Structure 1
Amino acid sequence: MAQRKMTQKLFTCHRRMFHLKMKRKILCRFSVLHKYLSSFWYQFLAFWITKSIKYRQLPHTIPVSAAQSPPQPADGRRSTSEIDLVSLKICLLGDNQTGKTSFLTKYVGKEKAQEGCLTKGLYQMDKTLNVRGARISYSIWEVEGDDSCSQDHIQAACKDSVAMLFMFDLTSRCTLNSVLGWYQQARKWNQTAIPVLIGTKFDDFVQLPLDLQWTIASEARAYAKLLKAAVFFSSATYNINVNKIFKFITAKLFNLPWTLQRNLTLGEPIIDY
């Protein structure tokens, strides 16, 4: 009788072990399948947006195609300041009323902004800075985001740009959804520029409910991941992250050390790259 009970216990134990092993195998296979499907889905989304593009870090010497040579005097001579100046182009894209012009004015200054060149559909400003003894002039082209915007304007702004800034209003989720369309159009004319996703009006964004802030921030980071772009939350009114964005671009272009830490804290201006 005792032997029979022992046999039943052993049988029950073996059966439980068998079921446990089968359960582990099923879970393992399900996990592998889930990873495969997730990877396939992200690849599909990336392909739908555009071809998978990885921007390259530019060397310390800027290629001739990326630099715009300043005009030479009639006698052919060039001043020392002209020889040392490297001119690079950056474009800003995004819907109307996202704060692109305010963002640029904060960076270049009101006096420089007044000297900017305004044509139908395009606005161009310049900013010159010194980086480790070198003089760099950023020619920044803003494309209007209303219905009057044409492919010619996008082509003119994006062609030969070393960086493309995609702007959206943190308080308007539809402007974030529009970023995909801007990205598709921009990549038709430029496939090597550094992409940066910028959420504007952070000072208004922090007034929103925390759950809505979390949702918008999560969506913005997801979009940035698909575009292979860095993401910054900014405010032109309070000069939040405006200069840091251009410092980040400069560091990427010249392969300079970058010490700024990522910030993913809810309620603070996000920096993720």
Structure 2
Amino acid sequence: MTLFRRHHRTTIVRLDINWPFVLRLGVIRRFFRLLWDQILSCSSPSGGRLRYRRIKSCFHEPQVEDVAEAATLVTPASPDLSGDLSDVLALKVSLLGDCHIGKTSFMNKYVGVVDQEERGLQMNGLNLMDKMMVVRGARIAFSIWDVGGDQRHLDHVPIACKDAVAILIMFDLTSRSTLNNAINWYRRGRKWNKTAIPVLIGTKFDDFVQLPLEMQWTVVNEARASAKAMDATLFFSSTTHNINVNKIFKFITAKLFNLPWTVERNLTIGEPIIDF
């Protein structure tokens, strides 16, 4: 039997193992994995690694076949800041891009903000919002960091990108200059985080489809080339019509927890592009 007891910050582990029994069953590997999990659970106030494994297992159940079906495992939850948040796994996401391209509107649409009073923490050049969800009893929260697009706000990039699981590089589909600047935002973010999932997002798709087809074709080709240079997945989105906003975060969740991503590429001009 294995006994774990906590006293203040000290974790005491006493092992009384019947080794022949364990060896006969051939489960020594599994035994030590469970033992390690228990030690982490006792020694870590948050038990973060255990929660990650528990959440990951939710996305590997046999009945989950694609992202659309996996969405049924996730239910929104109103964050109760007065309760115990020790079991919440926070997934940090950074939003980078020029001014006036719709980053804040994109974030508000995903979080579901409809009232000024519902907005999260705001400071000069940096907005923070959270959206909490429940995945089979485990609570996860996307912590979204929106960095202002002015040059004077570049000093917020390090803190916004460090420890982020994904960096969303955004540009205005109707402004090619913002697309040209996207690669610079990507480099700034990558300087501080080399492991985050990169996603290139073209905003204002509803305005973009009003442009001449020749211009749309040019922007699509340039956006695909930029996404390839970043090794990023490309999405065209519209906050006004809620096009691909939720799907982008479902994609991030699928990538983080190794969920099969079965959404097909869409390279049809006049439709919201998805390229990977």
TM-score norm. by structure 1 comes to 0.69
Q: CA deviation at 1:135?
A: 1.6
Query: Out of 80, 85, 90, which is 2:88 matched to?
Result: 85
The corresponding residue for 1:4 is none
State whether structure 2 residue 160 is matched by structure 1 residue 157.
Answer: yes
The corresponding residue for 2:125 is 121
CA contact (8 A) 2:97 2:171 kept: yes
The corresponding residue for 1:43 is none
Distance 1:201 1:218 in 2: 17
The corresponding residue for 1:204 is 207
The corresponding residue for 2:76 is none
The corresponding residue for 1:98 is 101
Query: Out of 123, 135, 139, which is 2:139 matched to?
Result: 135
State whether structure 2 residue 177 is matched by structure 1 residue 174.
Answer: yes
AA of the residue aligned to 1:127: K
Unmatched 5+ stretches in structure 1: 1-58, 64-71
Q: Identity of counterpart residues, as a percentage?
A: 62
The corresponding residue for 2:262 is 259
* Greater strand fraction, Structure 1 or Structure 2: 2
AA of the residue aligned to 1:107: Y
Aligned residues: 201
Distance 1:209 1:131 in 2: 43
CA contact (8 A) 1:112 1:126 kept: no
Please tell me the root mean square deviation across aligned C-alpha atoms, in Å.
2.3
AA of the residue aligned to 1:158: C
CA contact (8 A) 2:51 2:89 kept: no
AA of the residue aligned to 2:100: Q
Distance 1:156 1:184 in 2: 15
The corresponding residue for 2:231 is 228
SS of aligned partner of 2:151? coil
CA contact (8 A) 1:170 1:205 kept: yes
The corresponding residue for 1:191 is 194
SS of aligned partner of 1:105? helix
Q: CA deviation at 1:112?
A: 8.0
TM-score norm. by structure 2 comes to 0.68
Q: CA deviation at 1:131?
A: 2.9
Query: Out of 144, 148, 162, which is 1:144 matched to?
Result: 148
Task: List 4+ stretches of structure 1 deviating above 6 A.
Answer: none
Q: CA deviation at 1:183?
A: 1.0
Q: CA deviation at 1:129?
A: 1.4
Distance 1:61 1:129 in 2: 14
Q: CA deviation at 1:180?
A: 1.1
Distance 1:95 1:148 in 2: 12
CA contact (8 A) 1:60 1:254 kept: no
Instruction: Say which one has the larger Rg.
Output: 1
Change (3 A) 1:85 1:175: same
Unmatched 5+ stretches in structure 2: 1-48, 54-80
The corresponding residue for 1:218 is 221
